[in-house]
Structure 1
Amino acid sequence: MKTATKTTELILAPGQVSFATRPLRLRTLLGSCVAFTLWHPQRLIGGMCHFMLPARTRRDQPLDGKYADEALELLLRHARAHGTRARDYQVKVFGGGEMFPEQHRHLPDQDVASLNIRAALALAERHHLHLAAQDMGSTGYRTILFDLWTGNVWVRHQPMGTLRKDAYQKNQRTAGR
Structure 2
Amino acid sequence: MTSFHHDDPERAVKVHVTQGESHVTADPNVVMTTVLGSCIAACIRDPQSGVGGMNHFLLPDSGDGRRDGDAVRYGAYAMEVLINDLLKRGARRERLEAKIFGGAKLFDGLSDVGASNAAFAERFLRDEGIPIVSSSTGGVSARRVEFWPASGRVRQRLVAVDNAPQDVRRPTPPPMPAVASGDVDLF
Cα separation, 1, equivalents of 2:75 and 2:67: 16
Partner of 1:45: 51
Cα separation, 2, equivalents of 1:63 and 1:86: 27
Task: Report how far residue 65 of structure 1 moved.
Answer: 2.7
Partner of 2:32: 26
Q: Which runs of 5+ in 1 are unaligned?
A: 105-109, 163-177
Cα separation, 1, equivalents of 2:113 and 2:58: 8
With normalisation by structure 1, the TM-score equals: 0.79
Is residue 85 from structure 1 mapped to residue 86 from structure 2 by the alignment?
A: no
What is the root-mean-square deviation of aligned Cα atoms in Å? Answer: 2.3
1:108-154 CA distance string (max 9 Å, x none): xx421111111111111111111000000010200000012321011
Aligned 1:1-177 pairs, distance under 5 A: 2-3=7-8, 7-23=12-28, 24-56=30-62, 57-61=64-68, 64-100=71-107, 102-104=108-110, 110-158=111-159, 160-161=161-162
Task: Report how far residue 46 of structure 1 moved.
Answer: 0.5
Cα separation, 2, equivalents of 1:5 and 1:154: 14
| Paired positions, count | 156
Q: Which runs of 5+ in 2 are unaligned?
A: 1-5, 164-187
Deviates more, 1:132-141 or 1:112-121: 112-121
Cα separation, 2, equivalents of 1:112 and 1:10: 26
Percent identical: 25
With normalisation by structure 2, the TM-score equals: 0.75
Cα separation, 2, equivalents of 1:159 and 1:123: 30
Contact 1:50 1:65 in 2 (8 A): no
Contact 2:57 2:72 in 1 (8 A): yes
1:37-75 CA distance string (max 9 Å, x none): 012212211100000011012424368331111100001
Cα separation, 1, equivalents of 2:160 and 2:131: 27
Instruction: Report which of the two structures shows the higher radius of gyration computed on alpha carbons.
Output: 2
Contact 2:51 2:91 in 1 (8 A): no
Contact 1:63 1:74 in 2 (8 A): no
Find the residue that maps to 1:53 and give its secondary structure. Answer: coil
